[in-house]
Amino acid sequence: MTMGWAWLILLLATYPWLLGADLASDALASSSLVFFVSGACLIAPSRRLKRWQMILFAGCLGFLFEARRPIPDGALALSLVAAAIFLSTQRQHLRNTPGMLRAAALVNVGACLIWFFAAAYVAPVPMGDIVAQLMRQLLLAGVVGTVCLLPIALTQNAAMDRLGVPPAAEKP
Amino acid sequence: MNGPPRIHVLPSTPVDRPRLHATFFLFLAGFLYVAAGLAYRQLIQSNELMEQSDNQSRRVILRPPARGRIYDRNGYPLVDNRARWSVKADLAALQKEFRGEYLRLLAAEKARNAVSIDREKLLEDARLRVLQGWLNNVWFVIDETNRHPKSKPTTKLAPVNAPNERQVNLDELRRHLRERRALPFTLINDLAFPGTSQAVTSEEGAKSIARFVEQFPVAGPIRLEQDIVRTYPYGPLAAHVLGYVKDTDVLPDNVDDISEVRIESLQKLRYTGKTGAAGIELSYDHVLSGRSGWELWSKTSAGYNQTRLKYSEPAQGGHVMLSLDHRIQKQTEDSLAKLKDGRGALLPAAAVMLDIQTGEILSLVSQPSFDPNRLADRVTSKYYDQIESEGGWLNRATQGLYAPGSTFKLLTATAGMRKKVVDWDDILECGAFFRVGNRDFPEHEPVGYGEVDLDKMLAISCNVWNYQVGIKTGIEGLAAEARLFGLDSPLLSVTGDTENRGQEMTELPYAASRGLVVPDRAYKKRIGDGAWTDGDTANLSIGQGYLLTTPLHMACLAASIARGETRTVPSIIHSRERTGRHIGAQPIGLSTAQLAALRGGMVRCVEEGTARIAQIPGLPFAGKTGTSEYPKNGKKAHLAWMIGYAPADNPVVAFAVLVEGQTENNIFGGKTAGPIAKEMLLAWAATAAPPDEAKPKPDR
Amino acid sequence: MEANRQGARASYVALAIFVAIWILLPSAVRRFTREAFVEFQAPALHLVGKSRDLATFWEKKSRSVEEMAAAGRDLARVNAALELKLSAYEDVRRENVRLREIARYNVPPEYLSVIARVATRDSSSWWQRIVIRKGRNDGIRPGAPVVFGNIVVGRVTTVHLTTSEVDLVTSPGFRCTAYLEGDEQNRIVLVHGVASNSLGTAKARVSVIPRDYSMPAGQPARVLTTGMGGVFPSRLTLGNLDGMTYATQVGNFSESLLVPSRDLYNLQEVSVLVPLLQNPGEALMQGDQFQ
């Protein structure tokens, strides 16, 4: 296997986490909250993958999330791609764990916000109490992003080690 | 060179320092002025300016409230609201489609190498085609399963095949875009109402709605909106009392107070609402029309709505409870509808029945009438003209002015007794005619009636008795008597409850208030007919001549006599608080024997006199008939009258019936109006002892 | 470092160009992308569904014999009662067919019932959906009603190869007409899913309830399908009216909420009623909804 396919393998390695998040959303169904991790999944790979690989990885990650949800096509995927490009320019901030956690919370909340507005945009009816719901959703996304980052990153790093992706520069 | 140094601005143009300073200060002042102005606008005026720009990007949409219901005295709704389902297109959401279609059309035009391209026209075509496409889709969904439940759907309807009402109306679209672009455009106005071109039966109408609701995409530019229209469940019943509604763009501004609605510069759009055009709908409009709802929208640069910022629902108007009893009303209308002229057209007629104690009107009919349902939404000019030509707009019971004929003899008798020119047991010799001046006034019996007293006079309606008494009483006495019983004062006017803000209003609009005539010497002089003569007095004594009154006045007269008072104040509004006291009423001022004779004569009139035909076994009642003449189309025609009260011994209701005869047929008071009065009384008697039927509750 | 920055700038520009192209692309391409990602995930969803089934199976298996025997006994009783009803129903059905023939009344749409297991649920503030493990391959078409017994679950909105998404009755994408139990005149009311109010349970709104409608005493009033819209069979239960009806300000009508008669999220199996013949609404519904 060439290094070129590393992003795809990594995507497959990450997918169980996405599925797990969907199942968690399923369990949360009655509260109308969504267990959102797509943003957090970007952090670990963006330290090590090449930029073009990150772009593909992020795009697919977004499309996987929005495939079954009625939001404008590509709204989340393209936003995640933009986030990936941005992250790839900010690698110096991702060299230690606190930095990664911070980034995970931020990116996850940002992506969740975009998803929320995209869904609201095509919703046939306006929802009452939208601000409270948005706040709850963003809070959940922030918490989930930070909490799930470590296990996700562990999985992703293991996969990348296996694939022989060069390790990221660490900063104490 | 000595002296102050000179500054060289350009080679060889030396400048004075003072002049330079002056210029500098001038510029500085100018700069300060501009800066100060800018600061003022930015810092001090900024809020105001911001608001202005806000107002340009926002608008208020006012939504009409539902009008209140009108009930009869037992709580049956005579006027109600029903749901109207309309299919509407959201023009803002269709912008993209308009644009796409426009570009397609433009490309086609260019491909045709057209010399000049009218882009406005193309854009209009594009809008029309898109809307027509959606309308076809709607009908496709509704029709395909309607007609061929089993067949596979075929292709879309071609616009050319669509019948007229299934076409988008270009003129309406133009007007809509010009005037209320921000509101959705109506594609189908009333999807479910049987009788319109859209649905034949109510079941089919319900089916159309169900098909649209379940099969048409929920999200999208085409929506099912539901509003309410006025409906009159009993059709033309009491149409003159209830009136009808017409479209209005002026909605009540009495919305829940929000500052936005009050801002003058803010654009306001109004849905078309309804306002009363006649009858109670008009006179009680202030009660029935509710509070408008409003929505505050931000708008796009193209003038479409963007987001709804705030809103408030409209509130329904108050309800009005009429004193009418719909059962008596219905029976009266049905009875009058049997009266037809030689060509089968309805005879114009009116009938009133009222409660003697309270003055509440139980039934008030004017014929010919109209169906307010057909006026509630879109009035066809054909129907309007038809009502106009039949004379259906006039409420004959309250607005029709007629000579009361022999029914006036009751007043001649009371006037005579009051002036003591005759008493109840005086017997007058009545021949075949009575000479006044050099003119013979005839009796309607060719040989005369011989000896006649009050009792007999009322039974047989003797003219000569009245000529004698009338002339002895004199015009002043007769006119005073008519005024005493209120024949010259307008009825149905009420002053000030809190709801109409203390203003004087009539319960029914345009009730006769001018036109009423109680003639006297001054009156005749005023209209330029010369001096008053005894002949005029003789005419007046039998209710002919200048005297003009309405059926409602005559019904009130009967009620007053039944109660032994001089006035009855009628009302069309039901109220439990009525005490039976009538404003301006005094005791009638006759002795017991006189009053008994007067009432006895009226009873005898029904038992063996001119109103025999109206007799009801088991329900003795008092009546007085009248047949008067009036000019119609240059010829003489008859008016048939009957007034009275029932039951004879313990009066509860009073009534008046009037029928306008046509020139070619002969109608008489007893013969024509009597049977109507009889059926009215039977209907009343049926309601007085109601069967065990569940009455609907007035309101929930 | 500088090279990295420049590369990023180039990437942003490329992304912007791609977004522009993406917007201008025919919607079919976007739909294809969406479909591709759905199908990519379909096996996982099936796996999830199957493992749920397995979990249920083991849960059932762990029950004691006594429990099972009791359940079997209850079931036998219910069965006997149903047998009785079934024979009566058969009579009624024949009578109905005969009367319809006499009256030349429209034959209601016929359906093919497809049993489907629920794979997963998906909800947000704007929609309540379930994903079922049957799709285009099994003949499911968009717009088909989804029921559980005689209870309406929702309607199929999107169909993929082996999975389909179902808008629940409480989802805003769901709309249908209904009768209210106890309304003698069979006047139609409108049922429309509403966005659930965040943490509250999802409900649907019932509007255009006639003012003189009164609920049958002592029991919740059921809301039944009309069968007039050509989509749902008639007299299926949509749910119960929420106790109170509240008057709207538009005069003659009141509104109420519809509580689904079962917890729609906890269904494990539903049947999709695929109409044998296509109704015209289907053609419109297949159009691109998210352009």
pLDDT digits (tens, 9 = 90+) for A104-160: 999 999 999 999 888 888 776 555 567 788 888 899 999 999 999 999 999 999 999
**What is the overall mean pLDDT for chain B?**
82
CB spacing of A122 vs B219 below 8 angstroms: yes
Identity of the residue in C11, C41, C123 whose CB atom sits nearest the CB atom of A29: C123
For residue B697, what pLDDT band results from cuts at 50, 70 and 90? very low
Q: Is the pLDDT of residue B699 over 50?
A: no
* Domain count of the fold of chain B: 2
Q: Answer yes or no: do B340 and B240 share one domain.
A: no
Nearest-CA distance B510 → chain C (Å): 29
Cβ–Cβ < 8 Å for B214, C231: yes
Q: Give the CA angle between residues B312, B316, B322 to the nearest 5°.
A: 170
Q: In this predicted structure, what is the pLDDT of residue B46? A: 61
Q: Is the pLDDT of residue B442 over 80?
A: yes
Q: In this predicted structure, what is the pLDDT of residue A17? A: 93
Residue C56 lies in a domain: yes
Q: Answer yes or no: do C160 and C235 share one domain.
A: yes
- Residue ending a domain, among B280, B303, B321, is B321
Q: Is the pLDDT of residue B598 over 90?
A: yes
For residue C75, what pLDDT band results from cuts at 50, 70 and 90? very high
Segment B389-416, tens digit of pLDDT: 988 899 999 988 999 999 999 999 999 9
Residue type, B222: I
Nearest-CA distance A98 → chain C (Å): 23
Q: Answer yes or no: do B469 and B367 share one domain.
A: yes
Chain A residues inside the 8 Å CB shell of B308: 126
- Say how many C-beta atoms besides its own lie within 10 A of residue A130's C-beta: 16
- Say how many C-beta atoms besides its own lie within 10 A of residue A102's C-beta: 17
Among A151-160, B43-52, B419-428, which is the least confidently predicted range? B43-52
Phi, psi (rounded to 5 degrees) for C109 = -60, 145
For residue C280, what pLDDT band results from cuts at 50, 70 and 90? confident
CA nearest to B227 within chain C: C250
Residue B408 lies in a domain: yes
For residue A18, the surrounding DSSP H or E stretch is helix A6-27
Q: Answer yes or no: do C44 and C185 share one domain.
A: no
CB spacing of C15 vs A128 below 8 angstroms: no
DSSP 8-state symbol, A29: G
Domain ranges (residues) in chain A: 3-163
Residue B446 lies in a domain: yes
- Say how many C-beta atoms besides its own lie within 10 A of residue C268's C-beta: 11
Residue C289 lies in a domain: no
Across B621-625, average pLDDT? 93
Q: Answer yes or no: do B216 and B117 share one domain.
A: yes
Residue C192 lies in a domain: yes
CB spacing of C173 vs B219 below 8 angstroms: yes
Residue C72's Cβ-count burial label (10 Å; 0-12, 13-18, 19+) is: exposed
Neighbours of chain B (3+ CB pairs under 8 A): A, C
Give the C-alpha separation, B265 to A103, whole Å.
48
Identity of the residue in A70, A122, A133 whose CB atom sits nearest the CB atom of C198: A133
Q: In this predicted structure, what is the pLDDT of residue C70? A: 93
Size of interface A-C (CB pairs under 8 A): 124
Scan for tokens 């024509």, then name that residue: B672
CB spacing of A64 vs C40 below 8 angstroms: yes
Chain B residues inside the 8 Å CB shell of A126: 308
Q: Is the pLDDT of residue A170 over 90?
A: no
Nearest-CA distance C109 → chain A (Å): 28
Q: Is the pLDDT of residue C78 over 60?
A: yes
* Domain count of the fold of chain C: 3
CB spacing of B316 vs C278 below 8 angstroms: no
Residue C287 lies in a domain: no
Q: Is the pLDDT of residue C80 over 90?
A: yes
Across C187-200, average pLDDT? 73
The percent of residues in chain B predicted with pLDDT above 70, rounded, is 83
Residue C288 lies in a domain: no
Q: Answer yes or no: do C10 and C31 share one domain.
A: yes
Q: In this predicted structure, what is the pLDDT of residue B383? A: 84
Q: Answer yes or no: do C173 and C48 share one domain.
A: no
CB spacing of B316 vs C249 below 8 angstroms: yes
> In this complex, is the C-beta atom of A122 within 8 Å of any C-beta atom belonging to chain B?
yes
> In this complex, is the C-beta atom of A98 within 8 Å of any C-beta atom belonging to chain C?
no
For residue B677, what pLDDT band results from cuts at 50, 70 and 90? very high
Identity of the residue in A29, A124, A137 whose CB atom sits nearest the CB atom of C265: A29
Q: Answer yes or no: do B514 and B614 share one domain.
A: yes
Residue C223 lies in a domain: yes
Q: Is the pLDDT of residue B501 over 90?
A: no
Which stretches does DSSP call E strand in B407-554? 428-430, 433-436, 439-442, 450-452, 493-495, 504-506
Cβ–Cβ < 8 Å for B567, B586: yes
Q: Answer yes or no: do C138 and C182 share one domain.
A: yes
CB spacing of C251 vs B209 below 8 angstroms: no
Q: Answer yes or no: do C248 and C135 share one domain.
A: yes
Segment B308-323, tens digit of pLDDT: 777 777 778 888 999 9
Segment B347-393, tens digit of pLDDT: 899 999 999 999 999 999 998 999 888 887 666 778 888 899 988 89
Q: In this predicted structure, what is the pLDDT of residue B330? A: 94
User: Whole-prediction pTM value?
Assistant: 0.66
Nearest alpha-carbon partner for B383 in B244, B273, B199: B244
CB spacing of B215 vs C230 below 8 angstroms: yes
CATH number, residue B567: 3.40.710.10
CATH number, residue C246: 2.40.10.340
Q: Answer yes or no: do B626 and B674 share one domain.
A: yes
Nearest-CA distance C105 → chain B (Å): 11
For residue B541, what pLDDT band results from cuts at 50, 70 and 90? very high
Q: Which two tokens stand for residue B299?
A: 């708008």
Q: In this predicted structure, what is the pLDDT of residue B241? A: 92
Among B366-380, B604-618, C30-44, C142-156, which is the least confidently predicted range? B366-380
Nearest alpha-carbon partner for B612 in B492, B307, B604: B604
Q: In this predicted structure, what is the pLDDT of residue C288? A: 35
Q: In this predicted structure, what is the pLDDT of residue C23? A: 87
Segment B72-86, tens digit of pLDDT: 999 888 998 877 888
Residue ranges in C104-154 assigned as alpha helix (H): none
Chain C residues inside the 8 Å CB shell of B80: 252
Q: Answer yes or no: do C57 and C157 share one domain.
A: no
Chain C residues inside the 8 Å CB shell of A90: none
- Say how many C-beta atoms besides its own lie within 10 A of residue A153's C-beta: 20
Domain range for B64 is: 58-321
Q: Is the pLDDT of residue B14 over 60?
A: no
> In this complex, is the C-beta atom of A82 within 8 Å of any C-beta atom belonging to chain C?
yes
Nearest-CA distance C198 → chain A (Å): 6
Q: In this predicted structure, what is the pLDDT of residue B580? A: 79
Q: In this predicted structure, what is the pLDDT of residue B485? A: 93
Q: Which two tokens stand for residue C211?
A: 């003012």
Domain range for C77 is: 63-107
Chain B residues inside the 8 Å CB shell of A122: 219
CB spacing of A26 vs C120 below 8 angstroms: yes
Most confident of A162-171, B157-166, C119-128, C139-148: C139-148
> In this complex, is the C-beta atom of B111 within 8 Å of any C-beta atom belonging to chain C?
no
Q: Answer yes or no: do C8 and C136 share one domain.
A: no
Residue C260 lies in a domain: yes
Residue C249 lies in a domain: yes
Residue with the bigger pLDDT between B651 and A26: it is B651
Among B260-274, B457-471, B643-657, C81-95, which is the least confidently predicted range? B260-274
Q: Is the pLDDT of residue B611 over 50?
A: yes
Identity of the residue in A30, A51, A119 whose CB atom sits nearest the CB atom of C126: A119
Residue with the bigger pLDDT between B506 and B71: it is B71
- Residue ending a domain, among B321, B356, B387, is B321
Q: In this predicted structure, what is the pLDDT of residue B194? A: 58
For residue B120, what pLDDT band results from cuts at 50, 70 and 90? confident
CA nearest to A81 within chain C: C15
Q: In this predicted structure, what is the pLDDT of residue B694? A: 41
Residues from B contacting A (CB-CB < 8 Å) are 218-219, 308
> In this complex, is the C-beta atom of A164 within 8 Å of any C-beta atom belonging to chain B?
no
Q: Is the pLDDT of residue B158 over 50?
A: no
**What is the overall mean pLDDT for chain C?**
82
Neighbours of chain C (3+ CB pairs under 8 A): A, B
Q: In this predicted structure, what is the pLDDT of residue B406? A: 92
B438-472 burial, b at 16+ Cβ within 10 Å, e below that, comes to eeebebbeeebbeebbbbbbbbbbbbbbbbbbbbb
Q: Answer yes or no: do B118 and B232 share one domain.
A: yes
Chain A residues inside the 8 Å CB shell of C120: 22-23, 26
Identity of the residue in A85, A88, A132 whose CB atom sits nearest the CB atom of C15: A85
Across C252-275, average pLDDT? 81
For residue B147, what pLDDT band results from cuts at 50, 70 and 90? very low
CB spacing of C11 vs A55 below 8 angstroms: yes
Give the C-alpha separation, C171 to B88, whole Å.
23
For residue B4, what pLDDT band results from cuts at 50, 70 and 90? low
Q: Is the pLDDT of residue B223 over 80?
A: yes
Across B552-564, average pLDDT? 94
Residue B9 lies in a domain: no
Phi, psi (rounded to 5 degrees) for C252 = -80, -5
Segment C17-56, tens digit of pLDDT: 999 998 888 888 888 898 899 888 888 888 888 888 899 8
Q: In this predicted structure, what is the pLDDT of residue B260? A: 63
Phi, psi (rounded to 5 degrees) for B24 = -60, -45
Q: How many helices (H) and strands (E) does chain A have?
A: 6, 0
Q: Answer yes or no: do C152 and C87 share one domain.
A: no
CA nearest to C231 within chain B: B214
Residue B11 lies in a domain: no
- Residue ending a domain, among B295, B321, B347, is B321
Q: In this predicted structure, what is the pLDDT of residue A42? A: 92
Query: Fold for domain A3-163?
Result: Arp2/3 complex 21 kDa subunit ARPC3 (1.10.1760)
CA nearest to C170 within chain A: A30
Chain C residues inside the 8 Å CB shell of B144: 279-280
Residue from C250, C255, C290 to probe the interface with B (highest B Cβ count within 10 Å): C250
CB spacing of C126 vs A123 below 8 angstroms: yes
Identity of the residue in C229, C249, C282 whose CB atom sits nearest the CB atom of B210: C229
Nearest-CA distance B528 → chain C (Å): 56
Across B290-309, average pLDDT? 74
CB spacing of A68 vs C198 below 8 angstroms: no
Q: Answer yes or no: do C162 and C254 share one domain.
A: yes
